[in-house]
Amino acid sequence: SPSCADDKKRRVCYYYDPGIAHIKFSDDHVMVPARVAMAHSLVGVYGMLGDMRRLCTRPATEAEIRRFHSPEYVDLLRDLTPESYANDAALRQKAEDHHGIGGEDDCPAFDRLWKYCRGYAGGSLAAARALVDGASDIAINWSGGMHHASACKATGFCYVNDIVLAINELLGAFSRVIYVDIDAHHGDGVQDAFLDSNRVMTLSFHRYGKITPHKNFFPGSGAVNEIGAGAGEHYSVNVPLDAGVRDDVYHTLFKPIVGKAMEVFQPEAIVLQCGADSLSGDRLGGMELSVRGHAECVGFLRGFNLPLLLVGGGGGYTINHVASAWCYETAVA
Ligand code: V1S
Ligand code: CA
Ligand code: ZN
């Protein structure tokens, strides 16, 4: 098992919405929400469901989503359907020109989009509440983790930023929250949301730099000199990496950097985004972590014995690898 996992049991709660299995971005889209259903099947097959409290939850309300997202953007998300996108030229133009939906198709206007967003955001909010009320030590929502979405814009397959909503919920009870992001992409939406806050420290490990002479690895941000602003200066930490990073190199960085951040910042709760596109063989990530190396991050943070929220969501585009990783990480929890 990962080296920092200990023998002491944790009370784990787990959220799963079966509706996720039927969500499809588009026919050839790389983001396949059904991977969460695959992970859930594996968790069941390995007999773990009986060891965790299953979170009963509800979809996030419009009001909860408005706590971070702008009024016009929430109106659009609520009203957008493939039909309204196709038939209402003004709505389509607003979606494409101002809110990142449609257009080049990273974020299409697909069927049941609003239901999908409310579902995964509701899961992360319920998970945060389970930590706030002390009912659980670790809360898991593999369908959350949409780290790119900004207050008024969808980007990089992310429409509603459930992580920001969940961290805000945690801040109602905890003085300081640390956010760690092991998705292969930079956690820009979460970093930006808390850029000037000294109550949230964000750390992202990600691939960074040119992938062709004219194109940066998405989203292009996350340089080491992005450190936060105002009261939040030095509370954003970025670890840009080359393609091909393997477990040994990753952990010579991850453990000392995260360990030092924990020591200096003294958080009261931890949020870990477990994007699985940093695994070897992923269609987009270009990194070389093994499932064991990826899960070692979970084990390491679990070892601090603080309320821990695990979200998957984000990346992971070779779906059998994603399912293996999130199943194994459920076991580590
Ligand atoms: N890299 C990459 C990539 N691939 C795609 C893509 C491929 C097939 C499709 F049918 C649709 C999209 N988009 C991208 C990136 C976005 C990566 C998002 C990562 C998300 C996450 O793992 O961090 C968390 C959920 N988009 C781009 O590179 C932008 C484009 C510039 C190129 C691709 N086209 C489709 C849009 C514009
Ligand atoms: Ca990352
Ligand atoms: Zn990613």
Taking the C-alpha atoms of residue 137 and residue 16, their distance in angstroms, rounded to an integer, is 18
Give the residue numbers spanning the domain of 324: 12-55+125-332
Q: Indicate whether 2 belongs to any domain.
A: no
Among 39, 14, 52, 33, smallest CA distance to 328 is for 39
Q: Which of 40, 99, 148, 186 is catalytic?
A: 148
Q: 56: pLDDT confidence band, cut at 50, 70 and 90?
A: confident
Helix (H, G, I), strand (E, B) or coil at 204: strand
| Among the ranges given (47-51, 92-96, 102-106), the one the predictor scored with the smallest mean pLDDT | 102-106
Q: Indicate whether 108 belongs to any domain.
A: no
Ligand nearest to the CA of 163: 1
Q: Indicate whether 67 belongs to any domain.
A: no
Per-residue pLDDT tens digits for 215-254: 999 999 999 999 999 999 999 999 999 999 999 999 999 9
Tokens coding 176 = 């300081």
What's residue 67's pLDDT?
98
Taking the C-alpha atoms of residue 99 and residue 169, their distance in angstroms, rounded to an integer, is 25
Q: What is the ipTM of this complex?
A: 0.97
Active site residue 148: yes
Q: Ligand 1 centroid to 30 CA: how many Å?
A: 8
Q: Indicate whether 279 belongs to any domain.
A: yes
Q: Ligand 2 centroid to 280 CA: how many Å?
A: 15
DSSP state of 158: B
Q: Kindly report the CATH number assigned to the domain that includes residue 46.
A: 3.40.800.20
**Structural domain count of the chain:** 1
Q: Indicate whether 246 belongs to any domain.
A: yes
What's residue 1's pLDDT?
43
Which residue has the CA at smallest separation from atom 2 of ligand 1? 284
Q: Ligand 2 centroid to 173 CA: how many Å?
A: 26
Which residue has the CA at smallest separation from atom 21 of ligand 1? 315
Taking the C-alpha atoms of residue 297 and residue 311, their distance in angstroms, rounded to an integer, is 13
Q: Indicate whether 164 belongs to any domain.
A: yes
What's residue 292's pLDDT?
98
**Pocket, ligand 1, Cβ cutoff 6 A:** 28-30, 104-106, 148, 156-158, 183, 185, 218, 275, 277, 284, 314-315
pLDDT above 90 (res 317): no
Which residue has the CA at smallest separation from atom 1 of ligand 1? 284
Q: Indicate whether 79 belongs to any domain.
A: no
Per-residue pLDDT tens digits for 158-181: 999 999 999 999 999 999 999 999
Q: Ligand 1 centroid to 306 CA: how many Å?
A: 34
Tokens coding 304 = 């601090």
Q: 201: pLDDT confidence band, cut at 50, 70 and 90?
A: very high
pLDDT above 60 (res 3): no
pLDDT above 60 (res 5): no
Give mean pLDDT, residues 129-157.
Answer: 97
Give mean pLDDT, residues 191-214.
Answer: 98
Q: Indicate whether 91 belongs to any domain.
A: no
Q: 315: pLDDT confidence band, cut at 50, 70 and 90?
A: confident
Which residue has the CA at smallest separation from atom 7 of ligand 1? 30
Ligand nearest to the CA of 273: 2
Q: 323: pLDDT confidence band, cut at 50, 70 and 90?
A: very high
pLDDT above 50 (res 124): yes
What's residue 4's pLDDT?
52
Ligand nearest to the CA of 104: 1
Per-residue pLDDT tens digits for 264-284: 999 999 999 999 999 999 999
Per-residue pLDDT tens digits for 73-93: 999 999 999 999 999 999 999
**E strand spans, the chain:** 12-15, 53-54, 138-141, 177-181, 200-207, 210-212, 215-216, 236-241, 269-273, 308-311
**Mean pLDDT, the chain, whole residue set:** 96
